[in-house]
Chain A
Protein backbone atom coordinates (compact mmCIF):
# COMPACT_ATOMS: atom_id res chain seq x y z
CA UNK A 1 0.00 0.00 0.00
CA UNK A 2 0.96 3.62 -0.49
CA UNK A 3 -0.88 6.74 0.58
CA UNK A 4 0.20 10.28 -0.24
CA UNK A 5 -1.04 13.40 1.47
CA UNK A 6 0.04 16.54 -0.32
CA UNK A 7 -0.45 20.15 0.70
CA UNK A 8 0.67 23.48 -0.70
CA UNK A 9 0.26 26.63 1.43
CA UNK A 10 1.61 30.18 1.26
CA UNK A 11 2.03 31.98 -2.03
CA UNK A 12 1.00 35.59 -2.49
CA UNK A 13 -2.64 34.50 -2.27
CA UNK A 14 -2.10 32.37 0.83
CA UNK A 15 -4.52 29.82 -0.62
CA UNK A 16 -4.09 26.21 0.41
CA UNK A 17 -4.45 23.38 -2.10
CA UNK A 18 -4.27 19.78 -0.99
CA UNK A 19 -5.05 16.21 -1.98
CA UNK A 20 -5.06 12.84 -0.28
CA UNK A 21 -4.37 9.87 -2.54
CA UNK A 22 -4.60 6.14 -1.97
CA UNK A 23 -2.54 4.65 -4.77
CA UNK A 24 -4.28 1.29 -4.52
CA UNK A 25 -7.58 2.96 -5.34
CA UNK A 26 -6.31 4.89 -8.37
CA UNK A 27 -6.26 3.99 -12.06
CA UNK A 28 -3.06 1.98 -12.57
CA UNK A 29 -1.48 4.36 -15.09
CA UNK A 30 -1.73 7.19 -12.55
CA UNK A 31 -0.47 5.18 -9.60
CA UNK A 32 2.40 3.77 -11.66
CA UNK A 33 3.53 7.30 -12.55
CA UNK A 34 3.32 8.39 -8.93
CA UNK A 35 5.26 5.35 -7.64
CA UNK A 36 7.99 6.04 -10.19
CA UNK A 37 8.21 9.73 -9.22
CA UNK A 38 8.31 8.85 -5.50
CA UNK A 39 11.20 6.47 -6.24
CA UNK A 40 13.05 9.06 -8.30
CA UNK A 41 12.52 11.81 -5.70
CA UNK A 42 14.71 10.08 -3.09
CA UNK A 43 12.08 11.31 -0.68
CA UNK A 44 12.86 8.75 2.00
CA UNK A 45 16.43 9.97 2.25
CA UNK A 46 15.56 13.67 2.54
CA UNK A 47 15.54 15.72 5.73
CA UNK A 48 12.05 16.11 7.07
CA UNK A 49 12.17 19.90 7.21
CA UNK A 50 14.82 21.45 4.97
CA UNK A 51 13.09 24.86 5.28
CA UNK A 52 14.86 27.28 7.59
CA UNK A 53 12.74 30.36 7.09
CA UNK A 54 10.46 30.78 4.14
CA UNK A 55 10.86 33.73 1.81
CA UNK A 56 7.98 36.19 1.36
CA UNK A 57 5.19 34.73 -0.80
CA UNK A 58 6.95 31.54 -1.81
CA UNK A 59 4.97 28.31 -1.73
CA UNK A 60 5.46 25.80 1.07
CA UNK A 61 4.94 22.14 0.18
CA UNK A 62 4.29 19.28 2.56
CA UNK A 63 4.27 15.65 1.41
CA UNK A 64 3.50 12.74 3.71
CA UNK A 65 3.93 9.24 2.32
CA UNK A 66 2.75 6.19 4.21
CA UNK A 67 3.59 2.62 3.21
CA UNK A 68 3.20 -0.62 5.14
CA UNK A 69 6.60 -0.16 6.72
CA UNK A 70 7.41 3.53 6.76
CA UNK A 71 5.95 6.98 7.07
CA UNK A 72 7.87 10.04 5.92
CA UNK A 73 6.96 13.74 5.86
CA UNK A 74 8.94 16.29 3.91
CA UNK A 75 8.40 20.04 3.98
CA UNK A 76 10.07 22.29 1.45
CA UNK A 77 9.60 25.68 -0.17
CA UNK A 78 10.33 27.02 -3.64
CA UNK A 79 13.77 28.25 -2.62
CA UNK A 80 14.69 25.26 -0.46
CA UNK A 81 13.26 22.51 -2.63
CA UNK A 82 15.58 19.62 -3.54
CA UNK A 83 15.48 19.42 -7.35
CA UNK A 84 14.67 15.71 -7.15
CA UNK A 85 11.30 16.55 -5.59
CA UNK A 86 10.04 18.88 -8.31
CA UNK A 87 8.67 16.31 -10.78
CA UNK A 88 6.70 14.62 -7.97
CA UNK A 89 5.33 17.97 -6.74
CA UNK A 90 4.26 18.97 -10.22
CA UNK A 91 2.46 15.64 -10.68
CA UNK A 92 0.75 15.92 -7.28
CA UNK A 93 -0.39 19.47 -8.14
CA UNK A 94 -2.34 18.09 -11.11
CA UNK A 95 -4.37 15.99 -8.66
CA UNK A 96 -5.38 18.92 -6.44
CA UNK A 97 -8.72 20.63 -6.87
Chain B
Protein backbone atom coordinates (compact mmCIF):
# COMPACT_ATOMS: atom_id res chain seq x y z
CA UNK B 1 0.00 0.00 0.00
CA UNK B 2 2.69 2.50 0.97
CA UNK B 3 4.40 1.85 -2.34
CA UNK B 4 1.25 2.77 -4.24
CA UNK B 5 0.75 5.88 -2.14
CA UNK B 6 4.31 7.04 -2.74
CA UNK B 7 3.76 6.84 -6.48
CA UNK B 8 0.62 8.94 -6.27
CA UNK B 9 2.31 11.53 -4.11
CA UNK B 10 5.02 12.40 -6.56
CA UNK B 11 2.69 12.72 -9.51
CA UNK B 12 1.64 16.09 -10.88
CA UNK B 13 -2.05 17.04 -10.60
CA UNK B 14 -3.01 16.06 -14.11
CA UNK B 15 -1.69 12.58 -13.49
CA UNK B 16 -3.62 12.37 -10.25
CA UNK B 17 -6.72 13.21 -12.24
CA UNK B 18 -5.94 10.45 -14.70
CA UNK B 19 -5.60 8.02 -11.83
CA UNK B 20 -8.74 9.34 -10.20
CA UNK B 21 -10.40 8.30 -13.38
CA UNK B 22 -8.65 5.15 -14.50
CA UNK B 23 -6.66 3.66 -11.65
CA UNK B 24 -7.52 0.76 -9.42
CA UNK B 25 -10.14 1.50 -6.78
CA UNK B 26 -7.61 2.26 -4.06
CA UNK B 27 -5.60 4.46 -6.37
CA UNK B 28 -8.67 6.35 -7.52
CA UNK B 29 -9.83 7.17 -4.03
CA UNK B 30 -6.42 8.30 -2.82
CA UNK B 31 -5.93 10.37 -5.93
CA UNK B 32 -9.31 12.06 -5.65
CA UNK B 33 -8.60 12.95 -2.06
CA UNK B 34 -5.18 14.32 -2.96
CA UNK B 35 -6.80 16.48 -5.61
CA UNK B 36 -9.36 17.82 -3.13
CA UNK B 37 -6.69 18.78 -0.63
CA UNK B 38 -4.03 19.96 -3.04
CA UNK B 39 -6.27 22.03 -5.27
CA UNK B 40 -7.00 24.47 -2.51
CA UNK B 41 -3.30 24.79 -1.78
CA UNK B 42 -2.50 25.38 -5.44
CA UNK B 43 -5.40 27.76 -5.83
CA UNK B 44 -4.12 29.80 -2.94
CA UNK B 45 -0.64 29.80 -4.40
CA UNK B 46 -1.44 30.64 -7.96
CA UNK B 47 -4.74 32.38 -7.57
CA UNK B 48 -6.46 29.88 -9.83
CA UNK B 49 -10.20 29.77 -9.51
CA UNK B 50 -11.88 26.56 -8.50
CA UNK B 51 -14.07 26.87 -11.54
CA UNK B 52 -11.08 26.78 -13.88
CA UNK B 53 -9.71 23.74 -12.17
CA UNK B 54 -13.02 21.96 -12.19
CA UNK B 55 -13.66 22.81 -15.83
CA UNK B 56 -10.45 21.11 -16.88
CA UNK B 57 -11.19 18.11 -14.72
CA UNK B 58 -14.69 17.75 -16.13
CA UNK B 59 -13.49 17.93 -19.69
CA UNK B 60 -11.13 15.05 -19.01
CA UNK B 61 -13.76 13.05 -17.15
CA UNK B 62 -16.19 13.44 -20.03
CA UNK B 63 -13.69 11.94 -22.41
CA UNK B 64 -14.09 8.46 -21.00
CA UNK B 65 -17.01 6.82 -19.34
CA UNK B 66 -17.06 3.67 -17.31
CA UNK B 67 -20.66 3.79 -16.27
CA UNK B 68 -23.14 1.11 -17.21
CA UNK B 69 -26.84 1.82 -16.84
CA UNK B 70 -30.01 -0.11 -17.54
CA UNK B 71 -33.54 1.15 -17.00
CA UNK B 72 -36.49 -1.24 -16.92
CA UNK B 73 -40.24 -0.80 -16.60
CA UNK B 74 -42.34 -2.97 -14.31
CA UNK B 75 -45.40 -1.84 -16.32
CA UNK B 76 -47.29 -1.09 -13.10
CA UNK B 77 -46.69 -4.59 -11.74
CA UNK B 78 -44.29 -5.65 -8.98
CA UNK B 79 -42.22 -7.96 -11.16
CA UNK B 80 -38.53 -7.05 -11.13
CA UNK B 81 -36.61 -5.96 -13.02
CA UNK B 82 -39.30 -5.85 -15.76
CA UNK B 83 -38.83 -4.91 -19.42
CA UNK B 84 -35.55 -3.29 -20.50
CA UNK B 85 -36.32 0.10 -22.06
CA UNK B 86 -32.96 1.87 -22.16
CA UNK B 87 -29.42 0.49 -21.91
CA UNK B 88 -26.09 2.29 -21.72
CA UNK B 89 -25.50 4.55 -24.69
CA UNK B 90 -29.05 4.14 -26.04
CA UNK B 91 -30.90 7.20 -27.30
CA UNK B 92 -33.53 8.82 -25.09
CA UNK B 93 -36.96 7.20 -25.22
CA UNK B 94 -40.40 8.82 -25.16
CA UNK B 95 -41.05 7.85 -21.53
CA UNK B 96 -39.78 10.64 -19.24
CA UNK B 97 -39.47 8.37 -16.17
CA UNK B 98 -37.04 6.14 -18.07
CA UNK B 99 -34.90 9.08 -19.16
CA UNK B 100 -34.94 10.61 -15.68
CA UNK B 101 -33.75 7.35 -14.11
CA UNK B 102 -31.07 6.98 -16.79
CA UNK B 103 -29.79 10.55 -16.53
CA UNK B 104 -30.10 10.67 -12.74
CA UNK B 105 -27.97 7.54 -12.40
CA UNK B 106 -25.45 9.12 -14.76
CA UNK B 107 -25.31 12.33 -12.72
CA UNK B 108 -24.91 10.39 -9.49
CA UNK B 109 -22.21 8.21 -10.98
CA UNK B 110 -20.38 11.34 -12.17
CA UNK B 111 -20.34 12.99 -8.75
CA UNK B 112 -18.98 9.89 -7.04
CA UNK B 113 -16.45 9.44 -9.83
CA UNK B 114 -15.25 13.04 -10.22
CA UNK B 115 -15.38 14.24 -6.66
CA UNK B 116 -14.43 11.04 -4.84
CA UNK B 117 -12.77 8.82 -7.43
CA UNK B 118 -15.38 6.09 -7.01
CA UNK B 119 -16.33 3.74 -9.84
CA UNK B 120 -20.04 3.06 -9.28
CA UNK B 121 -21.91 1.60 -6.32
CA UNK B 122 -19.37 -1.09 -5.50
CA UNK B 123 -16.33 0.93 -6.67
CA UNK B 124 -15.85 -1.77 -9.25
CA UNK B 125 -18.10 -0.64 -12.08
CA UNK B 126 -21.32 -2.31 -10.92
CA UNK B 127 -24.13 -1.88 -13.43
CA UNK B 128 -26.69 0.68 -12.27
CA UNK B 129 -30.10 -0.95 -12.60
CA UNK B 130 -33.35 0.95 -12.20
CA UNK B 131 -36.98 -0.09 -12.53
CA UNK B 132 -39.65 2.56 -13.08
CA UNK B 133 -43.47 2.26 -13.10
CA UNK B 134 -43.38 -0.11 -10.12
CA UNK B 135 -46.85 -1.16 -8.93
CA UNK B 136 -49.98 0.97 -9.17
CA UNK B 137 -50.34 4.04 -6.99
CA UNK B 138 -46.95 3.35 -5.43
CA UNK B 139 -45.90 6.60 -3.73
CA UNK B 140 -42.34 5.57 -2.97
CA UNK B 141 -38.84 4.74 -4.17
CA UNK B 142 -36.47 2.21 -2.63
CA UNK B 143 -33.22 0.27 -2.93
CA UNK B 144 -33.82 -3.49 -2.71
CA UNK B 145 -30.18 -4.46 -2.16
CA UNK B 146 -29.48 -4.83 -5.87
CA UNK B 147 -31.30 -2.10 -7.75
CA UNK B 148 -33.32 1.12 -7.56
CA UNK B 149 -37.11 0.99 -7.76
CA UNK B 150 -39.45 3.92 -8.45
CA UNK B 151 -43.21 4.27 -8.27
CA UNK B 152 -45.26 6.84 -10.18
CA UNK B 153 -46.70 8.36 -7.00
CA UNK B 154 -50.50 8.36 -6.93
CA UNK B 155 -50.93 8.27 -10.70
CA UNK B 156 -54.08 6.20 -10.18
CA UNK B 157 -55.94 9.12 -8.59
CA UNK B 158 -57.63 12.04 -10.37
CA UNK B 159 -55.23 14.95 -10.88
CA UNK B 160 -57.19 17.20 -8.51
CA UNK B 161 -56.44 14.72 -5.69
CA UNK B 162 -52.89 13.79 -6.56
CA UNK B 163 -50.20 14.54 -3.98
CA UNK B 164 -47.14 12.96 -5.60
CA UNK B 165 -45.50 13.13 -8.99
CA UNK B 166 -43.46 10.21 -10.27
CA UNK B 167 -40.48 9.64 -7.97
CA UNK B 168 -37.83 9.93 -10.70
CA UNK B 169 -38.75 13.61 -11.01
CA UNK B 170 -36.33 14.47 -8.18
CA UNK B 171 -32.64 14.04 -8.93
CA UNK B 172 -31.91 14.13 -5.19
CA UNK B 173 -34.16 11.07 -4.71
CA UNK B 174 -32.27 9.16 -7.40
CA UNK B 175 -29.02 10.17 -5.69
CA UNK B 176 -30.51 9.12 -2.36
CA UNK B 177 -31.41 5.62 -3.58
CA UNK B 178 -28.12 5.02 -5.39
CA UNK B 179 -26.24 6.13 -2.27
CA UNK B 180 -28.01 3.39 -0.27
CA UNK B 181 -26.16 1.03 -2.59
CA UNK B 182 -22.82 2.73 -1.90
CA UNK B 183 -23.45 2.53 1.85
CA UNK B 184 -24.30 -1.16 1.54
CA UNK B 185 -20.90 -1.82 -0.05
CA UNK B 186 -19.02 0.38 2.44
CA UNK B 187 -20.01 0.97 6.09
CA UNK B 188 -23.11 -1.23 5.56
CA UNK B 189 -24.89 0.61 8.37
CA UNK B 190 -27.60 -1.46 10.08
CA UNK B 191 -30.97 -0.20 8.95
CA UNK B 192 -32.45 0.55 12.35
CA UNK B 193 -32.21 3.11 15.16
CA UNK B 194 -29.19 5.46 15.05
CA UNK B 195 -27.14 3.46 12.55
CA UNK B 196 -30.23 3.38 10.32
CA UNK B 197 -30.75 7.12 10.70
CA UNK B 198 -27.07 7.59 9.76
CA UNK B 199 -27.68 5.41 6.71
CA UNK B 200 -30.62 7.64 5.80
CA UNK B 201 -28.68 10.86 6.42
CA UNK B 202 -25.83 9.69 4.19
CA UNK B 203 -28.34 9.10 1.39
CA UNK B 204 -29.87 12.54 1.90
CA UNK B 205 -26.46 14.21 2.08
CA UNK B 206 -25.06 12.68 -1.10
CA UNK B 207 -28.46 12.92 -2.82
CA UNK B 208 -28.43 16.64 -2.16
CA UNK B 209 -24.80 16.91 -3.30
CA UNK B 210 -25.69 15.25 -6.60
CA UNK B 211 -28.30 17.92 -7.24
CA UNK B 212 -25.94 20.72 -6.20
CA UNK B 213 -23.23 19.35 -8.48
CA UNK B 214 -25.63 19.09 -11.40
CA UNK B 215 -26.87 22.65 -10.87
CA UNK B 216 -23.38 24.02 -10.14
CA UNK B 217 -24.55 25.43 -6.83
CA UNK B 218 -22.48 26.45 -3.84
CA UNK B 219 -23.59 25.58 -0.31
CA UNK B 220 -25.07 29.05 0.00
CA UNK B 221 -26.99 28.79 -3.28
CA UNK B 222 -28.43 25.30 -2.75
CA UNK B 223 -31.92 24.78 -1.33
CA UNK B 224 -30.91 21.59 0.54
CA UNK B 225 -34.34 20.07 -0.10
CA UNK B 226 -34.88 16.34 -0.67
CA UNK B 227 -37.78 15.52 -2.95
CA UNK B 228 -37.61 18.72 -4.94
CA UNK B 229 -40.58 18.76 -7.32
CA UNK B 230 -42.04 15.55 -5.93
CA UNK B 231 -45.22 17.10 -4.53
CA UNK B 232 -48.00 18.29 -6.80
CA UNK B 233 -49.46 21.77 -6.42
CA UNK B 234 -52.12 20.24 -4.13
CA UNK B 235 -49.58 19.88 -1.32
CA UNK B 236 -48.36 22.62 0.99
CA UNK B 237 -44.68 21.78 0.98
CA UNK B 238 -41.41 22.13 -0.92
CA UNK B 239 -40.22 18.53 -0.58
CA UNK B 240 -40.00 15.65 1.88
CA UNK B 241 -37.03 16.88 3.94
CA UNK B 242 -34.82 19.92 4.44
CA UNK B 243 -31.20 19.59 5.53
CA UNK B 244 -31.04 23.33 6.10
CA UNK B 245 -34.14 23.46 8.29
CA UNK B 246 -35.32 19.98 9.31
CA UNK B 247 -38.99 19.90 10.25
CA UNK B 248 -40.05 22.62 7.80
CA UNK B 249 -40.28 20.84 4.43
CA UNK B 250 -44.05 20.37 4.47
CA UNK B 251 -47.10 21.17 6.55
CA UNK B 252 -50.14 19.84 4.78
CA UNK B 253 -53.73 18.95 5.65
CA UNK B 254 -53.45 15.44 4.18
CA UNK B 255 -49.76 14.63 4.63
CA UNK B 256 -49.38 16.19 8.06
CA UNK B 257 -46.21 18.03 8.96
CA UNK B 258 -42.52 17.26 8.52
CA UNK B 259 -41.58 15.41 11.76
CA UNK B 260 -37.81 15.81 11.57
CA UNK B 261 -35.82 17.08 14.55
CA UNK B 262 -32.73 19.25 14.05
CA UNK B 263 -31.24 18.70 17.50
CA UNK B 264 -30.57 15.79 19.88
CA UNK B 265 -32.93 17.25 22.48
CA UNK B 266 -35.78 16.47 20.06
CA UNK B 267 -34.60 12.94 19.18
CA UNK B 268 -37.63 10.73 18.59
CA UNK B 269 -37.72 7.29 20.24
CA UNK B 270 -40.07 5.00 18.32
CA UNK B 271 -40.29 1.44 17.05
CA UNK B 272 -41.98 2.50 13.81
CA UNK B 273 -39.96 3.01 10.64
CA UNK B 274 -37.15 0.78 11.98
CA UNK B 275 -36.71 3.08 14.94
CA UNK B 276 -37.44 6.37 13.19
CA UNK B 277 -34.66 6.18 10.62
CA UNK B 278 -36.34 8.78 8.38
CA UNK B 279 -37.05 11.05 11.36
CA UNK B 280 -33.84 11.24 13.36
CA UNK B 281 -31.72 11.49 10.21
CA UNK B 282 -32.66 15.19 10.39
CA UNK B 283 -30.15 15.67 13.22
CA UNK B 284 -27.25 14.32 11.16
CA UNK B 285 -28.46 16.08 8.01
CA UNK B 286 -28.41 19.38 9.84
CA UNK B 287 -24.93 18.82 11.28
CA UNK B 288 -23.73 18.30 7.70
CA UNK B 289 -25.52 21.39 6.46
CA UNK B 290 -23.99 23.59 9.18
CA UNK B 291 -20.51 22.31 8.39
CA UNK B 292 -20.96 22.76 4.64
CA UNK B 293 -22.42 26.26 5.02
CA UNK B 294 -19.55 27.29 7.26
CA UNK B 295 -16.96 26.01 4.78
CA UNK B 296 -18.72 27.61 1.82
CA UNK B 297 -18.03 26.88 -1.84
CA UNK B 298 -19.09 23.62 -3.45
CA UNK B 299 -20.18 21.33 -0.62
CA UNK B 300 -19.03 18.12 -2.29
CA UNK B 301 -15.41 19.28 -2.30
CA UNK B 302 -14.73 19.52 1.42
CA UNK B 303 -17.79 18.54 3.47
CA UNK B 304 -18.63 15.78 0.99
CA UNK B 305 -15.06 14.48 0.95
CA UNK B 306 -14.94 14.35 4.75
CA UNK B 307 -18.13 12.30 4.88
CA UNK B 308 -17.11 10.10 1.95
CA UNK B 309 -13.90 9.23 3.78
CA UNK B 310 -15.82 8.46 6.96
CA UNK B 311 -18.29 6.29 5.01
CA UNK B 312 -15.66 4.31 3.15
CA UNK B 313 -12.91 4.05 5.75
CA UNK B 314 -14.24 4.62 9.24
CA UNK B 315 -17.93 3.97 9.88
CA UNK B 316 -19.01 0.38 10.59
CA UNK B 317 -22.39 -1.34 10.56
CA UNK B 318 -23.22 -0.53 14.18
CA UNK B 319 -21.98 3.09 14.22
CA UNK B 320 -24.18 5.60 16.06
CA UNK B 321 -24.35 9.41 15.92
CA UNK B 322 -21.53 9.84 18.45
CA UNK B 323 -19.29 7.52 16.41
CA UNK B 324 -20.14 9.46 13.25
CA UNK B 325 -19.22 12.73 14.96
CA UNK B 326 -15.89 11.39 16.19
CA UNK B 327 -15.07 9.68 12.89
CA UNK B 328 -15.91 12.63 10.64
CA UNK B 329 -13.75 14.75 12.96
CA UNK B 330 -10.98 12.21 12.50
CA UNK B 331 -11.52 12.14 8.72
CA UNK B 332 -11.26 15.94 8.57
CA UNK B 333 -7.91 15.80 10.38
CA UNK B 334 -6.72 13.09 8.01
CA UNK B 335 -7.57 15.10 4.90
CA UNK B 336 -7.14 18.72 5.95
CA UNK B 337 -4.98 18.49 9.07
CA UNK B 338 -5.61 18.61 12.81
CA UNK B 339 -7.16 21.88 13.91
CA UNK B 340 -7.78 22.92 10.31
CA UNK B 341 -10.76 25.15 9.52
CA UNK B 342 -12.40 22.07 8.04
CA UNK B 343 -11.99 20.08 11.22
CA UNK B 344 -13.35 22.97 13.28
CA UNK B 345 -16.37 23.18 11.00
CA UNK B 346 -17.09 19.48 11.57
CA UNK B 347 -16.94 20.02 15.30
CA UNK B 348 -19.17 23.09 15.13
CA UNK B 349 -21.74 21.31 12.97
CA UNK B 350 -22.12 18.47 15.45
CA UNK B 351 -22.06 20.79 18.42
CA UNK B 352 -24.98 22.81 17.04
CA UNK B 353 -27.13 19.68 16.91
CA UNK B 354 -26.16 18.75 20.46
CA UNK B 355 -23.28 16.31 19.93
CA UNK B 356 -19.76 16.95 21.29
CA UNK B 357 -16.71 15.26 19.83
CA UNK B 358 -15.26 12.75 22.30
CA UNK B 359 -12.10 10.68 22.48
CA UNK B 360 -8.56 11.21 21.29
CA UNK B 361 -7.98 14.34 19.28
CA UNK B 362 -11.02 16.14 20.64
CA UNK B 363 -9.04 18.59 22.79
CA UNK B 364 -7.98 21.81 21.14
CA UNK B 365 -4.28 21.58 20.30
CA UNK B 366 -2.13 24.68 19.99
CA UNK B 367 -2.80 26.10 16.53
CA UNK B 368 0.04 25.56 14.09
CA UNK B 369 0.67 28.65 11.94
CA UNK B 370 0.38 27.88 8.23
CA UNK B 371 3.44 29.13 6.35
CA UNK B 372 2.78 31.27 3.30
CA UNK B 373 3.89 31.28 0.53
CA UNK B 374 4.34 27.54 0.28
CA UNK B 375 7.46 26.32 -1.49
CA UNK B 376 7.36 23.56 -4.07
CA UNK B 377 7.21 20.39 -2.01
CA UNK B 378 10.14 18.01 -1.98
CA UNK B 379 9.34 14.45 -2.96
CA UNK B 380 9.21 12.13 0.00
CA UNK B 381 8.47 8.48 0.42
CA UNK B 382 5.92 7.57 3.08
CA UNK B 383 6.87 5.22 5.86
CA UNK B 384 4.95 2.03 6.45
CA UNK B 385 1.33 2.70 7.30
CA UNK B 386 1.34 6.35 6.29
CA UNK B 387 -1.23 7.60 3.85
CA UNK B 388 -0.54 9.80 0.89
CA UNK B 389 -2.38 12.65 2.58
CA UNK B 390 -0.01 12.69 5.51
CA UNK B 391 2.93 12.94 3.17
CA UNK B 392 1.24 15.53 1.01
CA UNK B 393 0.21 17.73 3.91
CA UNK B 394 3.69 17.45 5.39
CA UNK B 395 5.26 18.34 2.08
CA UNK B 396 3.15 21.45 1.88
CA UNK B 397 4.10 22.38 5.41
CA UNK B 398 0.56 21.96 6.72
CA UNK B 399 1.42 19.18 9.07
CA UNK B 400 4.39 18.23 11.19
* Complex Cα spacing A58 to B149, Å: 9
Task: Tell me if B276 and A56 are in contact (CB < 8 A).
Answer: no
Task: Tell me if B141 and A12 are in contact (CB < 8 A).
Answer: yes
Residue interface bits B141-175, CB-to-A below 8 A is 1, else 0:
11111000000000000000000000100000100
Residue interface bits A1-37, CB-to-B below 8 A is 1, else 0:
0000000011111111000000000000000000000
Task: Tell me if A55 and B277 are in contact (CB < 8 A).
Answer: no
Given A53-B191, A58-B144, are A97 and B254 also a contact pair (CB < 8 Å)?
Answer: yes
Task: Please name the residue on chain A nearest to B139 by beta carbon.
Answer: A11
Given A57-B140, A57-B142, are A15 and B276 also a contact pair (CB < 8 Å)?
Answer: no
What distance in Å separates the Cβ of B221 from its nearest Cβ neighbour in chain A? Answer: 25
Task: Tell me if A86 and B78 are in contact (CB < 8 A).
Answer: yes
Task: Tell me if B272 and A9 are in contact (CB < 8 A).
Answer: yes
What size tier do the contact residues of chain B reach?
Answer: 20 to 34
Task: Tell me if B142 and A14 are in contact (CB < 8 A).
Answer: no
* Complex Cα spacing A60 to B270, Å: 15
**A61 at interface (Cβ–Cβ under 8 A)?**
no
**A71 at interface (Cβ–Cβ under 8 A)?**
no
What distance in Å separates the Cβ of B127 from its nearest Cβ neighbour in chain A? Answer: 18
Q: How many residues of A contact B (CB 8 A)?
A: 22
What distance in Å separates the Cβ of B179 from its nearest Cβ neighbour in chain A? Answer: 9
**B210 at interface (Cβ–Cβ under 8 A)?**
no
* Complex Cα spacing A86 to B136, Å: 11
What distance in Å separates the Cβ of A9 from its nearest Cβ neighbour in chain B? Answer: 5
**B203 at interface (Cβ–Cβ under 8 A)?**
yes
B230-265: which have CB < 8 Å to A? 240, 254-256, 259
**B180 at interface (Cβ–Cβ under 8 A)?**
yes
The total of interchain contacts (Cβ-Cβ below 8 angstroms) comes to 74
Question: Of B144, B256, B272, B278, which is within 8 A of A55 by CB?
Answer: B144
**B266 at interface (Cβ–Cβ under 8 A)?**
no
Chain B residues, CB < 8 A from A55: 142-145, 191
Task: Tell me if A14 and B278 are in contact (CB < 8 A).
Answer: yes
Chain B residues, CB < 8 A from A16: 272-273
Given A56-B203, A57-B180, A93-B137, are A14 and B144 also a contact pair (CB < 8 Å)?
Answer: no
What distance in Å separates the Cβ of B229 from its nearest Cβ neighbour in chain A? Answer: 14
Task: Please name the residue on chain B nearest to A59 by beta carbon.
Answer: B140
Chain A residues, CB < 8 A from B278: 10-14
Chain B residues, CB < 8 A from A60: 273-274
**B176 at interface (Cβ–Cβ under 8 A)?**
yes
Interface of A is mostly: loop
Residue interface bits B22-57, CB-to-A below 8 A is 1, else 0:
000000000000000000000000000000000000
Question: Of A14, A56, A86, A90, which is within 8 A of B191 by CB?
Answer: A56
Task: Tell me if B173 and A15 are in contact (CB < 8 A).
Answer: no
Question: Of B136, B199, B227, B259, which is within 8 A of A56 by CB?
Answer: B199
What distance in Å separates the Cβ of A40 from its nearest Cβ neighbour in chain B? Answer: 17
What distance in Å separates the Cβ of A86 from its nearest Cβ neighbour in chain B? Answer: 7
A52-97: which have CB < 8 Å to B? 53-60, 78-79, 86, 90, 93, 97
Task: Please name the residue on chain B nearest to A13 by beta carbon.
Answer: B240
Chain A residues, CB < 8 A from B203: 56
Question: Of A12, A53, A54, A79, which is within 8 A of B140 by CB?
Answer: A12
Chain B residues, CB < 8 A from A97: 254
For A12, A16, A60, the residue with the greatest tally of chain B CB atoms inside 10 Å of its CB is: A12
Task: Tell me if A12 and B173 are in contact (CB < 8 A).
Answer: yes
What distance in Å separates the Cβ of B260 from its nearest Cβ neighbour in chain A? Answer: 9
Given A11-B140, A15-B256, A78-B142, are A54 and B274 also a contact pair (CB < 8 Å)?
Answer: yes
* Complex Cα spacing A74 to B339, Å: 53
Chain A residues, CB < 8 A from B142: 11-12, 55-59, 78
* Complex Cα spacing A59 to B276, Å: 13
Chain A residues, CB < 8 A from B167: 12
Task: Please name the residue on chain A nearest to B141 by beta carbon.
Answer: A12
Task: Tell me if B177 and A10 are in contact (CB < 8 A).
Answer: no
**B279 at interface (Cβ–Cβ under 8 A)?**
yes
* Complex Cα spacing A55 to B199, Å: 11
Sort A-B residue pairs by CB-CB distance and give the 10 closest, nearest first: A14-B278, A57-B142, A56-B180, A58-B142, A9-B272, A11-B140, A56-B143, A14-B273, A9-B273, A13-B240
Instruction: Report which A residues bind B (CB closer than 8 A).
Output: 9-16, 53-60, 78-79, 86, 90, 93, 97
A–B pairs, 29, beta carbons within 8 Å: A9-B273, A10-B278, A11-B140, A11-B142, A12-B140, A12-B142, A12-B173, A13-B227, A13-B278, A14-B259, A14-B276, A15-B255, A16-B273, A55-B143, A55-B144, A55-B191, A56-B177, A56-B203, A57-B140, A57-B141, A57-B143, A57-B176, A58-B144, A59-B142, A60-B273, A60-B274, A78-B144, A86-B78, A90-B136
